[in-house]
Chain A
């Protein structure tokens, strides 16, 4: 049970944060290494678990000309690395009314006409810390394949590294979330059971049984809780309970 700063010491390696050298334990992530060096993060630190997109990082190692990317909270330091966290990137975002959309591929192009300027250089894909094939979904966007963009980009954390690398000034991650929203709203069928259940609640179908439950003593509730019927874990979706009250 240790807090992040209380790490057992191991081999020390030099890293260069924005050009300044620090000696840090070799096993730490970039995020924790900077804390070890004395930083208290304000920008560039969010969930500390690889899902929020706050700590996109670009770095180079001494033996290679290549620019590499990672998340500061997920990437272990490498000896001699030069790094910079990119906590924000100015990004074009189109405003739309989800209710008035239709979910067509043409809508991606209407809201983001610059997608046609993509030159297919693949810098976005190379720059994605989530290993998403960004250039592929941009090609899908150009083809109007809303579903394709939605599926390819599903893991996007919107860190902005793709946009930072793009010579065509695209904002790939905003195109991607537009496609995901259009796809989920218009191209995937709505859940019929959900519509029906919302209606049933509105009609007050559960009002009486629930109010009755709320009036029960703890002892009665415990009895009901212990004897309630549980859907088997491996049951198919069409399983139905023996006790069909209130469902």
Chain B
């Protein structure tokens, strides 16, 4: 299943221009980056965020009137999955100090810190502990810790430039100043970062960085971090319990409006469980599996915006959800790997992005939104029409990975990118010899629940951290700042929630009144249809089979 002849012919054009491109790179001669004022026109013409008709105003809830992607609005303009009147809140199935919803990077970091601060913790998660976008993050984690050449000051400026200067300054300040300590924490837990002999961290550039501050563990940085902190959580087994395959579907508030728990749905027995807690941390991650605008996605199977839905319904406003991040480089061929992330680290290591003629058309380290828009322009018939046609009828561009071995020595691709090397080898492609065919793919939810620098939401007792929260990345996140986000804010949320749980005292009477109210609001807004949310899992099952699923009470995406 190697590249077919048609593509091999086109690869010859890439090979023809490669020696000269490598020479230029060695001399430090780069394809010119777009100036700030040149970015806007490309974004407006080709970035998916700007396509007419793909957004609409939300008609209900705390951010009514805010215009975001239709796919997310569909979930917000929906009723609860369960009938709030039928849930028995008098008898909790679980009792804990801190309930953490979601078991990815942010949730796990929060759980560890909450436990270390004396709180009993229950992690409730939809799939397994560690099944999350964190596990799939590849390229790295940013922190300005190279004394003598970098500083949180420059990190701050890079983040603002990438985020279009609209980021929440306090959140950015908090992230850049906590970044070195976050890396130090991971190092102390035994995360295998790539280092020089003397222990100095190896660091690289990412799109939009002015200093090399991307720490990494080969090309599986997120997996390495996730495996390490999950393992650490398991060392706290007297304090941290994990309930898997039990996603939360609604929060529970008390009669004073404080968050005191959640209702879980057991995916295997179809029961609903009530968890009583003193404080709740939402760390449910992103929403790539909503396939906004029909885009393929790099995201985890469970990335369906559940946390946004339940917190919004309880009264937490959302911010920065009007922009969505499309990662410039997702696999577009071979088809079996379609949508899979190709880390930005390839470009950080020097690989050019090339059109069908084997020519450069964009500087390879633009911020992600700009890079993605330029690639779409190159592929689109409405743009320049210089895309590489795939055998499956799509268009992509080349990512010239073989350059990396030429620049940094034979064997570098294999050593620095083992994950992708193995993946492509399964398809008969050696990426240290042949380039990869890529196209932008739905990657990240730039915005989310509104939080402050202590991860507090508007609701007392309710915290949020990681991709589910919004503000720190403004309108566009830079590479390596999401792993940083989940660790920094996960730790802050866990610490704050533990502290709050110690001091809150007796909680009031548990209630789902906010759910009833929201359901009424949906009805009163005249929203048609019987949509329910959260979605929990995407449904990729065959539509022809679904037509034969004739059970009468078939309900939503799951038949339980």
Q: Do A and B truly interact?
A: yes
Interface of A with B (CB < 8 Å)?
1-5, 7-8, 27-29, 32, 35-43, 45-52, 54, 74, 76, 93, 95-98, 130-131, 150, 154-155, 157-158, 177, 180-185, 188-198, 200-201, 206, 209-211, 213-214, 218, 221-222, 224-226, 228-235, 237, 239-241, 244-247
Given A40-B539, A154-B192 in contact, is the A226-B184 Cβ separation under 8 Å? no
In Å, the complex CA distance between A108 and B188 comes to: 18
- In the complex, are the beta carbons of A45 and B301 less than 8 A apart? yes
Whole-angstrom distance between the Cβ of B302 and the nearest chain A Cβ: 8
- In the complex, are the beta carbons of A46 and B542 less than 8 A apart? no
- In the complex, are the beta carbons of B223 and A157 less than 8 A apart? yes
Can you name 19 A-B pairs with beta carbons within 8 Å?
A1-B294, A39-B541, A47-B136, A51-B135, A52-B223, A76-B1, A98-B188, A155-B419, A155-B422, A184-B193, A188-B195, A188-B199, A206-B151, A225-B158, A230-B211, A233-B348, A233-B365, A246-B151, A247-B151
In Å, the complex CA distance between A41 and B537 comes to: 9
- In the complex, are the beta carbons of A221 and B160 less than 8 A apart? yes
In Å, the complex CA distance between A62 and B76 comes to: 49
Given A76-B336, A231-B210 in contact, is the A189-B198 Cβ separation under 8 Å? yes
Interface size counted on chain B using CB atoms at 8 A: 109
Could you mark each residue 126-154 of chain B with 1 if its beta carbon is under 8 Å from any beta carbon of chain A, else 0? 01101100011000000011111111111
Is there a chain A Cβ closer than 8 Å to B460's Cβ?
A: no
Given A27-B336, A231-B210, A234-B26 in contact, is the A240-B148 Cβ separation under 8 Å? yes
Residues of A within 8 A of B295 (CB): 1
Is there a chain A Cβ closer than 8 Å to B361's Cβ?
A: no
Q: For B164, give the chain A residue with the smallest CB separation.
A: A218
Could you mark each residue 163-176 of chain B with 1 if its beta carbon is under 8 Å from any beta carbon of chain A, else 0? 00100011001001
Whole-angstrom distance between the Cβ of B26 and the nearest chain A Cβ: 7
Whole-angstrom distance between the Cβ of B13 and the nearest chain A Cβ: 24
Is there a chain A Cβ closer than 8 Å to B426's Cβ?
A: yes
Is there a chain A Cβ closer than 8 Å to B212's Cβ?
A: yes
Whole-angstrom distance between the Cβ of A241 and the nearest chain B Cβ: 6
Given A96-B235, A218-B165 in contact, is the A201-B211 Cβ separation under 8 Å? no
Is there a chain A Cβ closer than 8 Å to B88's Cβ?
A: no
Q: For B144, give the chain A residue with the smallest CB separation.
A: A197
Whole-angstrom distance between the Cβ of A170 and the nearest chain B Cβ: 17
- In the complex, are the beta carbons of B234 and A74 less than 8 A apart? no
Q: Which of A47, A197, A229 contacts B145 (CB 8 A)?
A: A197
Given A74-B423, A210-B176, A234-B25 in contact, is the A246-B245 Cβ separation under 8 Å? no
Residues of B within 8 A of A191 (CB): 145, 184, 187, 193, 195, 199-201
Whole-angstrom distance between the Cβ of A72 and the nearest chain B Cβ: 12
Is there a chain A Cβ closer than 8 Å to B28's Cβ?
A: yes
- In the complex, are the beta carbons of B146 and A222 less than 8 A apart? no
Whole-angstrom distance between the Cβ of B375 and the nearest chain A Cβ: 14
In Å, the complex CA distance between A41 and B244 comes to: 15
Could you mark each residue 421-435 of chain B with 1 if its beta carbon is under 8 Å from any beta carbon of chain A, else 0? 011001000000000
Whole-angstrom distance between the Cβ of B390 and the nearest chain A Cβ: 12
Is there a chain A Cβ closer than 8 Å to B540's Cβ?
A: yes
Report which residue of B181, B301, B392 has the largest number of chain A beta carbons within 10 angstroms of its beta carbon.
B301
In Å, the complex CA distance between A96 and B191 comes to: 16
In Å, the complex CA distance between A54 and B136 comes to: 13
Q: Which of A155, A192, A197, A224 contacts B418 (CB 8 A)?
A: A155
Could you mark each residue 342-370 of chain B with 1 if its beta carbon is under 8 Å from any beta carbon of chain A, else 0? 00000010100000000000000100000
Q: For B133, give the chain A residue with the smallest CB separation.
A: A47
- In the complex, are the beta carbons of A214 and B173 less than 8 A apart? yes
Contacting A at CB under 8 A, from B1-55, are 1, 25-26, 28, 30, 35-36
Is there a chain A Cβ closer than 8 Å to B335's Cβ?
A: yes
